[in-house]
Amino acid sequence: MDIAVFQQYGPALIKGFGYTILCWALGTVFGMMLGLVIALIQRYSPRPVRWIIQIYIEIIRGTPFLVQLFVLYYGGPLVGLRLDALPAGLLGLTIYSSPYFAEIFRSAFRAVPLGQIEAARAIGMAEPTIIRRILLPLGLVSALPALVNFSIILTKETVILSMITVPELMYQVSRMSTETFRYLEANLVLALFFWALVETISRVGRRFEARITKHLIERT
Amino acid sequence: MQASSVEIRKVNKFYGPFHALKDIDLSIPPGKVTCLIGPSGSGKSTLLRCMNFLEEYDSGEVRIDGQLIGYDAPGKRMSGRKLREMRRSIGMVFQQFNLWPHMTAHENVAEGLIRVRGLSKADAMTRAADALAKVGLADKMGNHPSRLSGGQQQRVAIARAIAMEPKLMLFDEPTSALDPELVGEVLNVMKTLASEGMTMVVVTHEMGFAAHVADQVAFLEKGELVDVDTPSGILHHPKDARIQSFLRTYHERNSF
């Protein structure tokens, strides 16, 4: 181990980690929002619309993230979509994660007992109100573990953004490696940072889950 | 209390090729209790659910106070708004209670008053508290459903329905999911409601309730309405062999 190397590259690594967290957080939030919209459209739309959405889901889920990112970043300008690396990376993460989030929401909505929806219909509640007051609160609760799980997977997908020069942690680690040949040290730092991030997310997620399911657990 | 009547004429319902309801004719008089009994799969729950159009019937008519429910004219579906309007005055109680687990008992009852009737939150909470007091749960208002027994949950569900001031109450096997010792408290609330002149349609396996509280009893089997009569006419002097055999099995199962 060479401490001097870390003194030199430390600030860049920490800054890179900041970008990693930023990309993960925004990618997760936007991807979840898009996924939620997709799941709701899927639930309430006529068949042709559902087919179109299904095709979108199949395409995005069926291709590697790296390929999607290259198409967006290098192919985008051909159709007038000229994005800097960071916005392109965020948009890429959003698109890439949306079908997975959509599927999580779709199955969570299906897990809401039909009887609880029917009870709302039976007193004359309108469908948008049912979505807001019954379907979303109950669906989000049952979706939470899977949402946290996929957002943890997403932390590690952010390293691919280094391929289009987003200055996140992987990008900094690659630079340090090639400039100093300290491959092992650089990648150990990467592993350590990711482990800390994932551990934090899963702890916060579990605590949040315990809080929102407090009233839903049958006690005898 | 205003009470609705229900007129059912030649109602048919299919699930694919399965003929679930066959030309059902039944009159539910206002302010009376009608019990629907019969073996499971006979179509009694389906018939009940046609009365607030949670189940779509394929032909025939279901009229609440003379107004066709679910359709503007035969074959022409009613708008969602109009259907919701009609449902406001029809309360429904389910076998599985179907309370909303993320809300307290108090919030469960107030929800419809706020979101459907448009009451202010304060008014809704007051009215909800009254309804809960009426079913004997004034002290459990702050509990979530997970902290209530089955009987208490079902009484909250009844309070949720009556808080909307319905003119007709539909009960879909309200005591079938309850432990035997909790059945009584729910039936008592229903008896009180009946004595106040509420029109009630009750799908039930509680022959005692049918015998003592119902004004008329309808027996269904295999999607057919076999007979409608007074409780004693159906339960003590059944004319049809199918009813006799149903009651025989019932007595055998309940004797010891």
Nearest CA in chain B to A118: B54
Residue A220, pLDDT above cutoff 50: no
Query: Could you state, in order of their start, the residue ranges of all structural domains in chain A?
Result: 25-219
Residues in chain B whose beta carbon is closer than 8 A to a beta carbon of chain A?
A: 52, 54, 80, 84-88, 90-92, 94, 96, 98-102, 111-112, 115-116, 144, 146-147, 157, 160-161, 164
pLDDT tier at A2, thresholds 50, 70, 90? low
**Percentage of chain B with pLDDT > 70?**
100
Q: Does domain A25-219 match CATH 1.10.3720.10?
A: yes
Does residue A198 contact residue A152 with C-beta atoms inside 8 Å?
Answer: yes
| The pLDDT of residue A74 | 92
Residue B252, pLDDT above cutoff 50: yes
pLDDT 10s digits, B88-108:
999 999 999 999 999 999 999
pLDDT 10s digits, B204-231:
999 999 999 999 999 999 999 999 999 9
- Contact between chains at B94 and A119 (C-beta distance less than 8 A): yes
For the segment B58-71, the average pLDDT, to the nearest whole number, is: 93
pLDDT tier at A189, thresholds 50, 70, 90? confident
DSSP assignment of chain A, as one string? --HHHHHHHHHHHHHHHHHHHHHHHHHHHHHHHHHHHHHHHHHHS-HHHHHHHHHHHHHHHHS-HHHHHHIIIIIGGGGT----HHHHHHHHHHHHHHHHHHHHHHHHHHHS-HHHHHHHHHTT--HHHHIIIIIHHHHHHHHHHHHHHHHHHHHHHGGGGGGGT--SHHHHHHHHHHHH--HHHHHHHHHHHHHHHHHHHHHHHHHHHHHHTTTTS---
- Contact between chains at A124 and B54 (C-beta distance less than 8 A): no
How far off is chain A from B229, nearest CA to CA, in Å? 29
Determine how many CB atoms are found less than 10 A away from the CB of residue A10: 13
For the segment A174-195, the average pLDDT, to the nearest whole number, is: 87
pLDDT 10s digits, B97-156:
999 999 999 999 999 999 999 999 999 999 999 999 999 999 999 999 999 999 999 999
Residue A217, pLDDT above cutoff 80: no
Residue A216, pLDDT above cutoff 80: no
CATH level 2 (architecture), domain B1-89+170-255: 3-Layer(aba) Sandwich (3.40)
pLDDT 10s digits, B182-201:
999 999 999 999 999 999 99
State yes or no: ipTM above 0.95.
no
Residues in chain A whose beta carbon is closer than 8 A to a beta carbon of chain B?
A: 113, 115-116, 118-127, 129, 133-134, 137-138, 141, 215-219
| The pLDDT of residue A1 | 58
Average pLDDT, chain B: 93
Query: Could you state, in order of their start, the residue ranges of all structural domains in chain B?
Result: 1-89+170-255, 99-165
Average pLDDT, chain A: 90
Residue A54, pLDDT above cutoff 80: yes
Residue A186, pLDDT above cutoff 90: no
